[in-house]
Amino acid sequence: MRRTTVLRSCLSAALLLSTVAAGVGTQASAADSPTAADRAPASSALITAMQRDLGLTKTQATARLQAEATARTVERAAERAAGGSYGGSWFEAESGKLTVAITDDARKKAVEATGAQVTLVEHSERQLDAAMARIDKLDAPSGVSGWHVDPKSSSVVVGVVAERKNDNDVQAFLSQARQAGPVTLDETGQAPRTLAAGTVGGDPYYTGNVRCSIGFSVYGGFVTAGHCGQPSAGVRGWDGSYIGNFQGSSFPENDYAWVNVGSGWWTVPVVLGWGTVSDQLVRGSGEAPVGASICRSGSTTHWHCGTVLAKNETVNYSQGAVRQMTKTNVCAEPGDSGGSFISGDQAQGVTSGGWGNCSSGGETWFQPINEILNRYGLTLHTA
């Protein structure tokens, strides 16, 4: 097999198709305090993609990435300062600062001392998470696309497919959800779907007649989407050669898996630019806040960028609900599942599914990388 193409396949810290994620040991410590990775200059890959998809100048894109790196550090300190009154947080692109919601005004000065902006809300994150857990126990009809905790509205936002909002089963679900806690309704255009694809050309990996994409390299293999294959299923590379087998897989409820790598294949801490932009080094897995910029690499649509819209969302796929997902407005198409989501040089997660396409737009969900790493005891391969 050609060395350069094999490198693309293995480096592809995100080859698209299903979903992937997880985090461990060294990532946890890297997320606790600023590191050289936080201060590393942004690659031309991210800058170019952000200019194209977010309508920014080179200077604006660079400044935003620096502000978001600072916000990641502030977010951890602000949550500790807020204590039990913490109501969530989000990044404000216009001000370049993190906004933190609190329920107790007495905590305001302590939180502001961390460098965050502060706003008072009615419900704490703990209360909203409890409401979310109660809603997770309900049986959702297909007209409900999902739900997530939203710190801005201090409520659980329930997404409903617009043309189905008046269906009796949808209205019954909303009635039960409102009894579980504060709920805000959000009408969506389409129901979410996983982004698997049939066997086609490109630089993917294959399981049976399904094409998926590599997520992020970990020591000993790579992570990817759970809907791509069951444990022990064999995996072939772009050229049909054997790579390894699924060592663990979960879908629905979760959408993650990992594959061991051998037979001449190897792992590299890189997300492919697919010739559209330069390849991006992966230096850690510090979690970006809501509102932060984020980019996705996939074998079908390559590089696209957008922002983080929500966290801890339950996505109601036709195959079953998948929980603790992160929602973005980055577009994706079939074949992009399993691809890498990255913010700056920090791995965020792997593509699971969405709605829309890269011509008209849409929304895409990913499963956070650190959850996957922790679930399987894996270590992210970093530069």
Which positions are annotated as active-site residues? 227, 255, 337
Beta bridge partners of 343: 346
Other Cβ atoms closer than 10 A to 23? 29
Instruction: Tell me which residue of 120, 249, 241, 138 sits closest to 183, measured CA to CA.
Output: 138
Beta bridge partners of 211: 197, 206
What is the rounded CA–CA span in Å between residue 47 and residue 299? 20
**DSSP secondary structure string for all residues of 106-172:** GGHHHHHTTT-EEEE-SS-HHHHHHHHHHHHTS---TTEEEEEEETTTTEEEEEEEGGGTT-HHHHH
With beta carbons less than 8 A apart as the criterion, state whether 18 and 255 touch.
yes
Beta bridge partners of 161: 188
Q: Hey, what amino acid is at 309?
A: L
Structure token digits, residue 51: 């200019």
* Residue 259: its H or E element: strand 256-260
Structure token digits, residue 346: 């920090």
3-state secondary structure (DSSP) of residue 50: helix
With beta carbons less than 8 A apart as the criterion, state whether 266 and 284 touch.
no
With beta carbons less than 8 A apart as the criterion, state whether 259 and 220 touch.
no
What is the rounded CA–CA span in Å between residue 104 and residue 101? 9
What is the rounded CA–CA span in Å between residue 350 and residue 189? 23
3-state secondary structure (DSSP) of residue 321: strand
What is the rounded CA–CA span in Å between residue 378 and residue 350? 15
Beta bridge partners of 221: 218, 260
